Amino acid sequence: MTDAIHELRAREFPWAVAGDRIFLNHASTGPLPQRAVRRIHELTALRAEPWRYTTEMQFGELANARVRCARLIGAEPREIALMVNTSYGLNLAARALPFERGDVVITSDREYPSNVYPWMELEAARGVQLVRIPCAGVLPDEEAILAALDRPRVRCVVLSWVSFATGYRIDIERIGRACRERGIWFVLDAIQGVSAAPLDVRSAPVDVVACGAQKWLLAPWGSGFVWLRPDLVESLRPVEVSWMATRCSDDFTRLTDYDFTYRDDARKFEVITLPYQDFAVFLIGEWRKIGIEAEHRPLETAAWFSDGQDTGNFELLVAPTVEFMDDPDQFLGRYATGSTQNWGRFSDPQVDDLFSRQARSLDPVERKRLINDLEKRVLGNAYFTTGLWWSRNLVHWSKVKNYVAPPNHYTNQKLQDVWLSED
């Protein structure tokens, strides 16, 4: 074992190096790493004082979790719906895919029951027939499954990627391709495989992937996701309908407009409220991939300023960039040596020189050029990576009357003339 792995193991799984236990992860429930335990504690502490755990933090964490789930399987975040377990995703497939009475679903015998009962329910409720193909010994009989695809009315194949009892991994490519050729949906229960083996849904011929995160993803119980092929995201209707499934849901001032238009991404299948603190744990692993051993600390505003800005008690800071002031001196100061806003404490004589020259320049064209040079220097050296850049906030609510959009936040905001209409 290399030093780095030994160190990581000692840090994340101290019981493993203490020598009193040997735990073989057999994909029942994976152990939580220490960083996940810490993060859950932090977020639970925030939740104890709910005003500190803002809505932005809650939904931001879900958005991050979708990005990370998508990356795991080569998907786009808009194709991911966060679910609390594998069963939820499998039930979604069984109930949302447009089956008709008499259609046939093929599976293997000896599947985990989460992948059997939803289809039995479909059988009982909607007259769809579930056919369990006997195993060859204890392993799924792929030849027999493939042969069964040509039976009449086969609409769907549903299988575990990796079998829970034997660890047998099916040939997704072969079975999926045969399904595609026949216009048969291929639904995968992927919980036993994701993160232990690579899966790329852009090349793998699968239609729905359901995955809980409590096994190889070492995440809390009650976290998981479902991926759907993009055209299914568009065409399927949710079966459980959440208050966050519609397009107007993000605007909490419009909750009782009941604008019943589903989102155009997979969030329409999510059933909010979800355990935000559990999905938040997904983030930490991503920092490590780019070499940052981070502890993720969301802070409420006052603490963010006192802890983040003043003490420099961080390795990487996610800071809002509000670049809509007229005077560049106000927002470029953060790149200059010694500025109180220079949270990264970097010092670059060339940046300082450009900053002071632009501040003294009376020629707008010259000043613009100096600012462009300064920005290039800052971004080129990655002192600061810009995520979202916005220049001003605009009101887009029809009830707000007599609002004139200003050129920026600080000028011509004549709010005394603005009023809200009843209709």
Ligand X SMILES: Cc1ncc(COP(=O)(O)O)c(C=O)c1O
Q: Do 160 and 192 contact (CB within 8 A), yes or no?
A: yes
Q: Do 146 and 197 contact (CB within 8 A), yes or no?
A: no
Residue among 69, 125, 52, 66 at smallest CA distance from 297? 52
108 binds ligand X (CB under 6 A): no
Smallest gap from Cβ 188 to ligand X, in A, equals: 10
Smallest gap from Cβ 164 to ligand X, in A, equals: 3
**Can you tell me which of 58, 85, 342, 358 binds ligand X, judged by CB under 6 A?**
85
Smallest gap from Cβ 8 to ligand X, in A, equals: 26
In DSSP terms, 154 is beta-bridged to: 104
Binding mask 145-164 for ligand X (x = CB under 6 A): ---------------x---x
Smallest gap from Cβ 250 to ligand X, in A, equals: 28
**Can you tell me which of 62, 65, 86, 226 binds ligand X, judged by CB under 6 A?**
86
C-alpha–C-alpha distance, residues 394 and 366, integer Å: 30
Q: Looking at beta carbons only, is 112 or 331 nearer to ligand X?
A: 112
Give the pair of three-digit tokens for residue 225.
């996701």
112 binds ligand X (CB under 6 A): yes
Q: Looking at beta carbons only, is 45 or 165 nearer to ligand X?
A: 165
Smallest gap from Cβ 85 to ligand X, in A, equals: 3
Residue nearest to ligand X (CB): 212
Residue among 184, 173, 104 at smallest CA distance from 142? 173
String of DSSP letters for 57-119: HHHHHHHHHHHHHHHHTT--GGGEEEESSHHHHHHHHHHHS---TT-EEEEETT--GGGTHHH
Q: Looking at beta carbons only, is 164 or 269 nearer to ligand X?
A: 164
* Range in contact with ligand X (rule: CB under 6 A) among 84-92, 140-148, 251-259, 266-274: 84-92
Smallest gap from Cβ 191 to ligand X, in A, equals: 5
* Range in contact with ligand X (rule: CB under 6 A) among 79-87, 177-185, 382-390, 404-412: 79-87
114 binds ligand X (CB under 6 A): yes
Give the pair of three-digit tokens for residue 261.
């238009």
Pairing between strand 154-160 and 104-108?
Answer: parallel
Angle of helix 55-72 relative to helix 282-289, nearest 10 degrees, comes to: 60
278 binds ligand X (CB under 6 A): no
Residues between 360 and 389 that touch ligand X (CB under 6 A):
none
Spatial neighbors of 9 by CB under 8 A, at least 6 apart, are: 1, 16, 17
Contacts with ligand X by CB under 6 A: the residue count is 13
C-alpha–C-alpha distance, residues 156 and 183, integer Å: 9
Residues between 154 and 213 that touch ligand X (CB under 6 A):
160, 164, 189, 191-192, 212
* 3-state secondary structure at position 291: coil
Q: Looking at beta carbons only, is 159 or 232 nearer to ligand X?
A: 159
C-alpha–C-alpha distance, residues 372 and 415, integer Å: 34
Residues at the site binding ligand X, with contacts judged by CB under 6 A: 85-87, 112, 114-115, 160, 164, 189, 191-192, 212, 224
